[in-house]
Amino acid sequence: MYSDDDLNSAVAAGALSAEAAANFRAHMSAMRALPHASEEDFRLLNSFNDIFVSIGIVILLVALGAIGQALAGVIAPEPVWPDLGVPAFGELSAAQEAAIDAYDAASNRNNAFTALLAGLFVAAAAWPLALFFTAKRRMALPSILLLLAFVGGVFATGMGLVLLTEAGSNENDTLVAVLVAGAALVAAGAAWLHWRRFMVPITVAAGSAAVAGTVLALLAAAIGPDNLSERLVLSLVLVAGLCVFAFAMRWDMSDRARTTRRSDVAFWLHLLAAPMIAHPIFALLGVTDGDNPGVGAAVAVLGAYIAFGLVALATDRRALLVSALAYVLFALTFLFREFGAVELNFALTALVIGSALLSLSAFWQPIRRGVVTLLPSALQAMLPATEEPAYAPPAGASPA
């Protein structure tokens, strides 16, 4: 399996002409009856060896995390719950309250060293492993795991330092939010360093998630943790998701043909933005509140899913549809049950959604063409083309 990066590398090395690479892409698109840009190519596996190496990486990193946890237990032993006896008249004495406070402080210290040492060991191991498996061997799945391990390990280390601060035991929520923002910002810096060295496409999404976490934590500190309602938090996450989506579109617009690494970066950004957009919208509609969202909310969910579908068609990205799938399944199941199809509600829901998704997949290009032609010409010029350039066979080549 050869990716667009491999083809571009071959063209840069002179092993393949640019015209031959373009003709190969057009030929494969003609065989699949789908433009190359609509394939949403991203490389997860080069071969089964990727799975073999990934298993080894996961085992090694889990072991290093466990060693860090064990060392944390030596430095700051996990406390034992104190024997409080029977409280007099249902109230704790001063000595009993002091024992509980001491237990909480010791437990926080143990958790802090666990996060710090486990994260530090994992991040310290992930970088040199990436030097071999990412920079030298160019393995796809191991590169993704090592990037996530490095950025996640750096963030865990930062969170360990946050827990070790005095703010972690004084319940100063505002200061804790600021420190969490600092840990997320350090993780974003780690993602930037990883991108500069290895340029794994998912790195930009990981860094964007860290930046979004930084901004949200700072906003929480500015507003005041006590003033944060669920609706406000969901609204902030939605705005962050829309910002990530706009960032993804910026990468997409720089490679409308989707033949370079920029398209892979945009894919992962769309995958990050989709749940940040879908979950807050459906939660604000009341779908996640219980088993009976109400007919109005269920219909609103279907309307939102149709809107997501139009956005997916226009941008030629399917992440929004996948992220919202669970919510629309829930809404349709409720509607079928509400209108009498109690026994077959799930079967009817699966039938409707499965048929719709397969039909959309089969006729994606004609439907997308109809949607895109309705948009202003200036906007159309920013989106992937609806037609693939024609395949131009070399002179003298016989048809297959």
Cβ-contact 385, 253 below 8 angstroms: no
CA–CA separation, 198 vs 146, rounded Å? 11
User: Which long-range contacts does 329-333 make (Cβ < 8 Å, 24+ apart)?
Assistant: 329/353, 330/287, 330/293, 330/301, 331/287, 331/293, 331/297, 331/298, 331/299, 331/301, 331/302, 332/298, 332/302
Report helix angle 364-373 to 345-362, nearest 10.
70
CA–CA separation, 287 vs 184, rounded Å? 30
CA–CA separation, 168 vs 158, rounded Å? 13
pLDDT the model gives residue 233: 93
pLDDT the model gives residue 123: 97
**In the chain, what are the domain boundaries?**
34-81+104-228, 277-394
CA–CA separation, 42 vs 44, rounded Å? 6
CA–CA separation, 333 vs 348, rounded Å? 8
State whether the Cα torsion 218-224-230-235 is positive or negative.
negative
pTM of the predicted model as reported, rounded to 2 decimal places: 0.83
**pLDDT 10s per residue in the chain (400 long)?**
556 666 666 666 666 676 666 666 665 555 555 565 556 666 777 788 999 999 999 999 999 999 999 999 999 888 887 776 665 555 766 777 777 777 877 888 888 999 999 999 999 999 999 999 999 988 999 999 999 999 999 999 999 998 887 545 456 778 888 889 999 999 999 999 999 999 999 999 999 999 999 999 999 999 988 888 989 999 999 999 999 999 999 999 998 888 888 989 999 999 999 999 999 998 888 777 665 667 788 888 889 889 999 999 999 998 888 888 888 888 888 777 776 655 667 788 888 888 988 998 888 888 999 999 999 999 988 888 876 555 455 544 443 3
Q: Which of 211, 152, 153 is CA-nearest to residue 182?
A: 211
Hey, what amino acid is at 121? F
User: Which long-range contacts does 23-26 make (Cβ < 8 Å, 24+ apart)?
Assistant: 23/391, 23/392, 23/393, 23/394, 25/259, 26/388, 26/389, 26/390, 26/391, 26/392
CA–CA separation, 37 vs 257, rounded Å? 6
Hey, what amino acid is at 1? M
pLDDT the model gives residue 313: 92
pLDDT the model gives residue 391: 47
> Between vectors from CA 243 to CA 130 and to CA 323, what angle results, nearest 5°?
75
Hey, what amino acid is at 317? R
CA–CA separation, 272 vs 319, rounded Å? 9
pLDDT the model gives residue 196: 96
Which residues face 56 on adjacent strands? none
CA–CA separation, 23 vs 348, rounded Å? 44
